[in-house]
Amino acid sequence: MEKVPFFHALTIDQETCIGCSHCMKSCPTEALRVRNGKAVLQPDRCIDCGNCFKVCPTKSIYVKQDDFDDIFDYACRVALVPSVFMGQFPNDITVSRIYQILKEIGFTYIIETEATVPIYTEAKNLYAAEHPDIRPLISTYCPAIVRLIQVKFPGLVDNLIPIKAPIDLTAMYIRRKLEKEDWNPEDIGIFYITPCAAKIAAVKTPVGEDKSLVDGVINMDSLYNRVFKRIKEQGHGFKEQKLPVSQLSADGVLTALTNGERRLSNAKHSYSIDEIHNVIEFLEKVENDEVENVDFLELRACDQSCPGGILTCDNRFMMCERIFARARKIAERERNGEQTKDHEIEAERNFLARNVKVGAIKPRSMLVLDEDITQALEKMQRINQLRAKLPQKDCGVCGAPTCDALAHDVVMGEAKITDCIFMKQEPTPL
């Protein structure tokens, strides 16, 4: 079967790119090169982690999104909102006020993404109990991590837990709920408010599924600006309509943070690791059997997990504190007997549990040199020969991030050995 190409939300504006190589040097999967003075993406290596976006000095790397007006193509317009969106606003801006504004600007229904966390957690724990031979099990909550393992650690794809993330479970739930309320399926549009590029890519080309139940994606920074502008216009005299109960449980609110999944796991030995380079360092140890007796790994590509996403609008540490404060308030109300609105999903627990799994997650190794094993071995030998000749200074002047990457590019016909400035120099006479 032909490999379906990854969709990439990260895009390079060739007109404004100055070829500075900042993006190339920051990429954890060596997915960028500088050719003819411009950054060029190697799509099979890119995992949409957003590191290049963060370091680009000219903002030539940007994140594609769907047009906001696309929501009006649907009569029933659902905003699928992650808890980190609420965490961007000051403490005196309530969740109910944000809900009201989202409806004013065009949405007809708002639901928070983490509403299905109890079902998601139960499915993970059940999968772990049913597969004691697979360790460590790795969460698929973060789509950048799923892609990282597919392309850089293909030997670990079987360790990924093949179940839908909360974004997909919640989309499934709300679509079913609205159809039961006699909405025509074609009139329902579900739009996810994303804090990162990887989740855009996951919606456009989902792993283990043919098509996402989410119809479109709106960048979080874009929607935040719309909502905050409306707050400024309302001023201090605004009277809000309080929500009758909390939309999420305390556990649901905390899931997007580092340790949010691990704290709900039944695993005896587990780790929570965030920031892509930390994750890679740890996975290399796992791959080399340097880590033993680990049952579960919660891995997140961004520092502080979703609050560190490249499309959030506030300091990630301040966001984490606001999210914790919200969770503490909800937990206090739960202790006093209040049921949060996500308990409504219990009525669909069996339906969601039956449909929680995804298809096989397949490796997409960036290390494949040739489909023919004989040719691949010959190319590997030539790469090793070139490595021995190159200076191993990893200066990046050649347009590749490392000398090893240049050797690979030369053998694959994507560069020349003379791109290395040291190889161009004439030997100094004795």
| CATH 1.10.10.10 correct for 1-64 | no
Could you tell me which of 181, 243, 167 has the C-alpha nearest to residue 209?
167
Alpha helices in 181-219 (DSSP H): 197-204
pTM: 0.91
- Angle between helix axes 117-130 and 166-180 (nearest 10 degrees) is 120
User: CA-based angle 6:11:16, to the nearest 5?
Assistant: 155
Q: Can you give the pLDDT at residue 337?
A: 83
What span, in angstroms and rounded, lies between the C-alpha atoms of 368 and 267? 34
> Which letter does DSSP use for residue 105 in this model?
T
Residues listed for the chain: 430
CA neighbor of 253 nearest in space, from 96, 352, 101, 113: 113
pLDDT of residue 1: 36
Instruction: State the Cα–Cα distance between residues 115 and 123, nearest whole angstrom.
Output: 14
Predicted local distance difference test score (pLDDT) of residue 370: 80
Whole-number pLDDT of residue 3 = 56
Q: What pLDDT is attached to residue 21?
A: 95
- Averaged pLDDT, groups of 10, the chain, 430 residues long: 71 95 95 95 93 96 93 97 94 89 95 94 96 96 96 95 96 95 96 96 91 95 95 80 74 94 94 97 95 95 96 95 93 84 83 93 81 89 92 92 93 91 62
Instruction: Return the CATH superfamily for domain 369-430.
Output: Electron transport complex subunit B, putative Fe-S cluster (1.10.15.40)
State the pLDDT at residue 430.
Answer: 38
- Predicted confidence at residue 48, as pLDDT, reads 95
Domain spans in the chain, listed from the N-terminal domain onward: 1-64, 68-354, 369-430
DSSP-derived letter for residue 298 is E
Query: Same CATH topology for 1-64 and 369-430?
Result: no
Q: What pLDDT shows up at residue 428? A: 44
Give dist(CA 108, CA 128) in Å, integer: 38
